[in-house]
Amino acid sequence: MYQLFRKFLFLFDAEAVHYFSMNLLKLACSIPFIRKLIHHLYSVNQPALKKKLWGLDFQNPLGLAAGFDKNARYLRELETLGFGFVEIGTVTPLPQQGNEKPRLFRLPADKALLNRMGFNNDGAKIISARLRAWRSDHPASAMIIGGNIGKNKITPNEDAWKDYEICFRELFDYVDYFVVNVSSPNTPGLRELQEKEALRKILTHLQTINTHQHRAKPLLLKIAPDLNQEQVKDVIELAIEIRLDGLWLPIPPLTAKD
């Protein structure tokens, strides 16, 4: 049944199918009985899977990386499916369209997706309003929400720190942890921010704001998987110096050689 459904969906554009599927799930979850059924079938409540990290209580270690729910529109559905955490974003200060479509491509033989989205998102203001509504409507939700933040395409790199600050302040009250994303190849020049001094400026600034809050939020950095040894060493030294809580390093897929 699933194989048949999958074959059918694969006839259409990958991005359109993503939203179609999630909106279908949203519709299903709007019926309390069905939502309870899905939750019962897919979620796990195993004390052994619970994990405390950075002072946060994760119900389980299975999370959804940034890019799936960029605009925080599907939190209830993802919680129903049993995710322990969801990282929303990447969020930029201003809304932006992202790259021209098509920009998401299936690689069926590799069981993978090729992403050239370009940080399409509703912008920090709208997304923080959505998160505020989620927090007030679901005060008992135990799902951890991470805020993955980036810069707008039109912002020059020397002003990037301002974009990260805007997103950080805007989302601060509604997310449980932050990820500073400098990893995307789809925003021209973004990866240059992985250079040590550029990173130091952004991260020191955010960490200073963070430590002046009533309760600081865990701050992580997401870097690209293809930095060389020297660059990784720089990033690690900086992470220790600035007391980051973690590094988010996507692992490149293994090939037959590996």
Minimum Å gap between C-beta 146 and ligand FMN is: 10
Taking Cα atoms as reference points, which of 25, 128, 134, 15 lies closest to residue 75?
A: 134
Q: State both tokens at 122.
A: 């509703």
Residue 153 engages ligand FMN in binding (rule: CB under 6 A)? no
Q: By C-beta, is 119 or 164 nearer to ligand FMN?
A: 119
Q: By C-beta, is 187 or 210 nearer to ligand FMN?
A: 187
Minimum Å gap between C-beta 35 and ligand FMN is: 26
Q: By C-beta, is 31 or 112 nearer to ligand FMN?
A: 112
Taking Cα atoms as reference points, which of 58, 257, 48 lies closest to residue 144?
A: 58
- The 167-206 contact track toward ligand FMN, x by CB under 6 A, reads --------------x-xx----------------------
Residue 70 engages ligand FMN in binding (rule: CB under 6 A)? yes
Residue 113 engages ligand FMN in binding (rule: CB under 6 A)? yes
Task: State how far the Cα of 84 lies from the Cα of 78, in Å rounded to an integer.
Answer: 9
Residue 152 engages ligand FMN in binding (rule: CB under 6 A)? no
Cα–Cα–Cα angle for 147, 188, 10, rounded to 5 degrees:
70
Query: Out of 43, 99, 115, 207, which residue is the one contacting ligand FMN (CB under 6 A)?
Result: 115
Helix, strand counts (H, E) of the chain: 8, 10
Q: By C-beta, is 76 or 151 nearer to ligand FMN?
A: 151
The verdict on whether 43 is a catalytic residue reads: no
254's CB contacts (< 8 A; 6+ apart) are none
Q: Quick check: 63 and 176 in contact, CB under 8 A?
A: no
Residue 82: which region, alpha, beta or left (left: phi > 0; alpha: psi -120 to 50)?
Answer: left
Residue 81 CA, distance from chain mean position: 17
Q: By C-beta, is 67 or 82 nearer to ligand FMN?
A: 67
- Interface region with ligand FMN, contact rule CB under 6 A, candidates 26-34, 35-43, 63-71, 226-234: 63-71
Residue 231 CA, distance from chain mean position: 23
Among all residues, which ones are annotated catalytic? 184
Report the interface residues with ligand FMN, using CB under 6 A.
65-67, 70, 89-90, 104, 113, 115, 117, 119, 148, 181, 183-184, 222, 250
